[in-house]
A and B are shown apart, each in its own frame.
Chain A
Amino acid sequence: MNLGISALNYVNSIKNGDFTAEEFIEKSFERIKEVDDNLHAFLSFNDIALEKAKGIDRRISSNQKIGQCFGMPISVKDNMCVEGTKTTCASKVLENFISPYTGTAVSRLEAEDAIIIGKTNLDEFAMGLSTEFSAYGPSKNPWNIDYVPGGSSGGSAVSVSANECIASLGSDTGGSIRNPASFCSIVGLKPTYGLVSRFGLVSYANSLDQIGPMTKTVEDSAFLLNIISGVDHNDNTTIDNKNQDYLKDIDAGITGKKIGIVTEMTNPDGLSTSVLNATNDAIKKFEDLGANCEQVSLGMSKYAVAAYYTITSTEAGSNLARYDNIRYGYEFDSSGFEFNSYISQARSKLGPEVIRRMILGGFVPSAGHAGKYFLKALKVKSKLITEINHIFKKFDYLISPTVPIQPFKFGEKINDPVSFMLVDFNTVTANLTGIPAISVPFKIEDGLPIGIQIMANHMDEHSLLQAAYALEKTVSLPEVEI
C-alpha cells in the first residue's frame, strides 16, 4: 500500500479491492505517528476516523451506495468549522472553542464519504506565510525540516506532501494555499472568489478569502473541486457554476492557447536565481506544449501588495473583534473585571503578528487618517480588475513563479514586515481580482521545491486545470524523503 497515491488512484484501488478503507486509514495514522512529532502538521485528530472507515468498508461489501471519496483521509485547516471539533485557528484565544456546526465545503466532502482525519496547523488566524506565527508552534517543511513549509495553510501542505493524508482543504486570502503548495511541492488551487462556499471558514479578510483543495495531482484538485464547489444558500457571495465537471477533458492540452508572462511578477531583480531559471524552463515547457507565450504587463500589480494589506488589515480588524472571550474562547473568568479591561486582557493572548495587523487595521480606516487609504485600496482593486478583464480578452492564461523565492529558513523573514509582505507579491493579484490561480509543483532545486503559478479568468477553472495538467505532465519530480 503506497500512501503517496493520488485520490483518483486511491478510489480505483478501493474499487479493485487492493486494500480497504480501514487499512488505509490505519496506515495513515501509523505514518502520522512516525513523522508528525517532527513535522507538526496537525493540531488535532479525529478519534472516530477508524470507526468511520470500518463503516464505509461494511457498506462497500454489502454493495450499498458509497460516496465518490470511498473513505479517503482528508485533513482540514484548523480555521474551518467541523462540528464537535476544536477549531482554534492556531490561536490561544480559541483554545477551547468547539464548533457547533460543520461548514459547507467539509460537509460536501463528508457527504461523499471522505473521512476528515484531523485539523491542520496554520499561521494564527491565517495571517502569515510561513506557519511560524502559529500559537502552537510551526510546521516543518518535509523536504528539509530547517525550512518553513510556507503559509498560512502550512500544516495542510505538509500533511499532503508528507503522505499523512491524501488531500487537504486549505484557505487562501493572499496566497495561503498556493505559497505552501509551492514550498512543499504539491498542487494548490485558489478557486474564483465565490465558487466555493465560505460558510464554516473563520473569516480573515472576507472580501478575499477562499477555500481550496491542496492535493498531490492536478486531477485530484479537479476531483475535489467538483465536490466542494457550487452555490450555497448559506453564503450570499457564492456563484452558480452550473454543475460544471472539472475533470472532463482535463487532458485536452493547450495547443494554440495564449499565455501571458506577467512582467512585474517575473522581473529578474525580484526573483531568486533558481526561481528565475525554473520560470524560464516552465515557459519553454509551455511552448513545447504548443502554447504561445508572450510578456504582458500588469501595471496595477505594482500597487497590489499595498492595496492587499490595507484591505485585509481593515477587514481582519473587524472580523477578529468578536474574539472577546465572552461567548466562547478559552478559560478566563470575567468576575470582578470591568468590561474594557477584561476584553483587552483576554485579547492579549493574540500573537504578535495578529496584534500588529489589529493595530494597522485600526489605523487604516480610522477618521484620523481620513480613511483615505481604504478607499484608495478599493479603487486600486477595482482598477486591477478592469486591467485583468482587459488582459484576458487577449490571453487565455497568465503565468508566474508562485513565490519569488524558494522556502526560507525559520526566523529568516519574521522581523522585517515589508520584505515579508513582498513574498506575497505574485499571489495577491489573484485574490484582489477574484480570479482562479493554481500552483503546480515544477522543480526541486537544492532539495527545495519551486512551484509555477497559472492564472485564468473568472470562473474559468475548467480551462485553468487543463493548463495545469499539461504542465504537470511535463515533469517528473522525486518523492519526498522523510
Chain B
Amino acid sequence: MKKLVNEEEIIHVAKLMKIELADYNIHIKKVQKMLEYFDILDEANIESEDLIVQETDVDKLRDDKHVIYDKKLLKFLKNYKETYVKAPKLS
C-alpha cells in the first residue's frame, strides 16, 4: 500500500471535507507520512479477526413516546425571521 499521495487526491479530499487549503504541498507531505505509518497495520495479521462491537437488546431501546422539547431551541440558533434557518444558496 505504498501509494503516493498526489495533489489531485488532496484537492478532492479537501473538497469532500469542505476545507480550504492554503498550501496543498504541506498536506501532501503530512498525509503521505501518516499513511506510510499506517502501513504498519498490514503486519498485524488480523484478516480473520471478527469485529468486537458494543451490543444491546432491542428491549433496552427508547419507548416510542412524543415528548415536546420545552425550550425554544430556535432562539439558540442562527435564525431568519424567527422561523427558518437561513442557508447559503445552492448552486
| B-contacting 9-mer, from A64-72, A360-368, A390-398 | A360-368
Task: Known A372-B1, A380-B41, A383-B44; judge A338-B19 contact (CB<8 A).
Answer: no
Is the C-beta of B66 less than 8 angstroms from some C-beta in chain A? no
A:332-384 near B, CB below 8 Å: 334, 337-345, 347-348, 350, 355-356, 358-364, 366, 368-369, 372-373, 376-383
On whether the beta carbons of A327 and B85 are closer than 8 Å, the reply is: yes
A241 at interface by CB-CB < 8 Å:
no
Residues of B within 8 A of A112 (CB): none
Our pick among B17, B35, B51, B86 for the contact of A378 (Cβ within 8 Å) is B51
Q: By the criterion CB–CB under 8 Å, are B33 and A417 in contact? A: yes
Of the listed stretches A16-24, A162-170, A269-277, A298-306, name the one at the interface; the rest are far from the partner chain: A298-306
Say yes or no for B9: interface residue by CB 8 A criterion: yes
Is B20 a contact of A342 with CB atoms below 8 Å? no
Q: Is the interface of B mostly helix, strand, loop or mixed?
A: mixed
Chain A hits for B21, CB < 8 A? 355, 359
Tell yes or no: A88 within 8 A of B by CB. no
B40 is contacted by which of A302, A359, A362 (Cβ under 8 Å)? Answer: A302
A198 to chain B, nearest CB (A): 13
Distance from B6 Cβ to chain A, minimum over Cβ atoms (Å): 11
A300 touches B44 (CB 8 A): yes
A342 and B88 within 8 A (CB): yes
Chain A residues numbered 40-80 whose CB sits less than 8 Å from any CB in chain B = none
Tell me the minimal C-beta distance from A337 to chain B in angstroms.
4
In Å, the complex CA distance between A417 and B32 comes to: 11
Alpha-carbon separation in the docked complex, A379 to B52 (Å): 8
A385/B27 contact (C-beta < 8 A), A326-B87, A327-B85, A343-B18 known: no
Taking the closest CB of chain B, its distance from the CB of A59, in whole angstroms, is: 27
Number of interface residues of B (CB under 8 A): 50
Chain B residue, CB-CB nearest to A362: B13
When distances are taken between beta carbons in the complex, the residues of chain B under 8 Å from A302 are 40, 44
Is B68 close to A, CB under 8 A?
A: no
**Complex CA distance for A300 and B44, rounded to whole angstroms:** 7
Residue of B nearest to A369 (CB): B3
A324 within 8 A of B: yes
Chain B residues numbered 1-37 whose CB sits less than 8 Å from any CB in chain A: 1, 3, 5, 9-10, 12-21, 27, 30-31, 33-35, 37
Cα-based distance from A383 to B16 in the complex (angstroms): 32
Q: Take A326-B85, A338-B89, A344-B20 as given contacts and tell me if A360 and B41 are in contact as well, using a CB distance cutoff of 8 Å.
A: no
The CA of A416 and the CA of B69, in the complex, are separated in Å by 47
Q: Which of A98, A360, A368, A376 contacts B44 (CB 8 A)?
A: A376
Task: For residue A343, give the distance in angstroms from its CB to the closest CB of chain B.
Answer: 4
Bound Cα distance A339, B41 (Å): 38
CA distance A433 to B31 in the complex (A): 26
Complex CA–CA separation, A342 to B91 (angstroms): 12
CA distance A327 to B80 in the complex (A): 10
Q: Do B71 and A100 touch (CB < 8 A)?
A: yes
For residue B74, give the distance in angstroms from its CB to the closest CB of chain A: 10
CA gap between A482 and B38 in the complex, in Å:
42
Q: Does A176 contact B (CB under 8 A)?
A: no
The 8 Å CB contact of A233, one of B12, B18, B62, is: B62
Q: Which residues of B sit under 8 angstroms from A98, Cβ to Cβ?
A: 76
The answer to the question of A237 belonging to the interface, with a C-beta cut-off of 8 Å to chain B, is yes
| Chain A residues in 8 Å Cβ range of B9 | 363, 368
Report if A310-B41 is in contact (Cβ < 8 Å); known contacts: A359-B14, A359-B27, A359-B31: yes
Q: How far is the CB of A312 from chain B (nearest CB, A)?
A: 12
**Which residues of chain A are near B37, meaning CB under 8 Å?**
306, 309, 418, 421
Q: Which residues of B contact A (CB under 8 A)?
A: 1, 3, 5, 9-10, 12-21, 27, 30-31, 33-35, 37-38, 40-44, 46-47, 49-52, 54, 56, 61-62, 71, 73, 76-78, 85-91
Beyond A98-B76, A347-B20, A380-B46, 15 additional pairs, beta carbon < 8 A: A303-B40, A328-B76, A339-B87, A340-B91, A341-B88, A344-B20, A355-B19, A355-B21, A359-B30, A376-B41, A379-B46, A379-B51, A382-B52, A383-B49, A386-B52
